[in-house]
């Protein structure tokens, strides 16, 4: 495997053959090649979305007084990482057969779930790329899959993305080398963190050349999938009291491991040793990449 087929110069020519007469797959592939983003309307039943939200409420209730230590400065609960390893309802969505088949098609390989995030509110995260925290060998064998668990108001801080922004290149090794030259004698962790700041700055500057980000207020059960290099974020929440209940699943080929920003910037040479194992859910590989926990 040599990276995503979607990024190859003959991707459009490959599209029809790979879709094999499935008009939906062909349309999805075309959107991903051109925009780096596609929405699948009503891909998940409303009752399945409700089941995840109810699992989250039980999860919070079971914490009791401990829940207070997981709130941010504004008193709002942090996002929950790997909720699918605690909630069977969330795992069922992440391993939904049709969604997995679409990811098989986009990856050109059997898809698996690496990790997930549960959100009660909009992230309001600036435009960024996920790439540093989802490094694969070959690079870019990753997709983000966002599921709306309720109708998202435009005032709740919906997703935003930069159409076509997956097409510009930011070389992490070049950035790391430049940072190392500027900071001689600095510890490796300091170089990596500085490289990450430089990278995100480069992404924001380059993304601005593609125009104003598109804001997407999705409906309950809608699913958005984005290219690993697509600049995206959370738009400002005009009404911070509104919820934006959603889950993001980070999906990669079952044959690949995911590495973090240290590898993304500083690693050269052979593929690093595996860092985690797998379980099976609904006949799909699911990484045991970490416990269910709150995360900034």
- What one-character-per-residue DSSP string does 217-250 give? -PPTT-EEEE-TT--EEE---SSTTS---EEEEE
Look up residue 215 and give its two tokens. 């804001």
pLDDT (tens digit, 9 = 90+) per residue, 182-198? Answer: 999 999 999 999 999 99
Strands 246-253 and 284-287, bridge-based pairing: unpaired
pLDDT (tens digit, 9 = 90+) per residue, 58-74? Answer: 999 999 999 999 999 88
pLDDT score of 40 more than 60: yes
Query: For residue 21, what are the contacts with CB-CB under 8 A and spacing of at least 6?
Result: none
Fill in the DSSP letter of residue 67: G
Of the candidates 165, 151, 262, the one whose C-alpha atom is nearest the C-alpha of residue 211 is 165
pLDDT (tens digit, 9 = 90+) per residue, 130-158? Answer: 999 999 999 999 999 999 999 999 999 99
H or E element at residue 190: helix 188-208
Please state, in angstroms and rounded to a whole number, the distance separating the CA atoms of residues 280 and 286.
6
- What number of helices (H) and strands (E) belong to the chain? 8, 12
**Prediction pTM value:** 0.96
pLDDT (tens digit, 9 = 90+) per residue, 214-239? Answer: 999 999 999 999 999 999 999 999 99
pLDDT score of 1 more than 90: no
């Amino acid at each position: 495997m040599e990276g995503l087929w979607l990024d190859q110069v003959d991707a459009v020519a490959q599209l029809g053959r790979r879709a094999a007469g499935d008009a939906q797959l062909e349309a999805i592939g075309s959107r991903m090649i051109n925009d780096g983003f596609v929405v699948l309307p009503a891909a998940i039943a409303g009752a399945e979305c409700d089941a995840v939200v109810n699992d989250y409420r039980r999860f919070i209730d079971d914490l009791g007084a401990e829940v207070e230590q997981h709130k941010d400065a504004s008193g709002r609960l942090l996002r929950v990482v790997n909720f699918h390893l605690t909630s069977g309802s969330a795992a069922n969505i992440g391993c939904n057969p049709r969604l997995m088949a679409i990811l098989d098609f986009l990856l050109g390989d059997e898809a698996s779930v690496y990790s997930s995030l549960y959100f009660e509110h909009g992230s309001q995260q600036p435009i960024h790329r996920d790439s540093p925290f989802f490094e694969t060998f070959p690079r870019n064998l990753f997709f983000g899959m966002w599921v709306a668990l309720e109708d998202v108001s435009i005032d709740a801080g919906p997703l935003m993305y930069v159409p076509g922004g997956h097409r510009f290149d930011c070389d992490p090794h070049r950035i790391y080398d430049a940072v190392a030259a500027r900071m001689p004698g600095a510890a490796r962790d300091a170089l990596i963190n500085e490289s990450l700041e430089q990278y995100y700055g480069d992404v924001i500057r380059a993304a601005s050349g593609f125009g104003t980000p598109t804001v997407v207020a999705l409906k309950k059960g809608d699913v958005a999938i984005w290219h690993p290099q697509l600049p995206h974020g959370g738009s400002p929440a005009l009404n911070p009291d509104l919820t934006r209940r959603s889950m993001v699943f980070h999906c990669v080929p079952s044959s690949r491991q995911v590495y973090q920003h240290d590898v993304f910037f500083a690693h050269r040479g052979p593929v690093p040793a595996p860092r985690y194992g797998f379980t099976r859910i609904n006949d799909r590989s699911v990484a045991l990449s970490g416990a269910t926990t709150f995360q900034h």
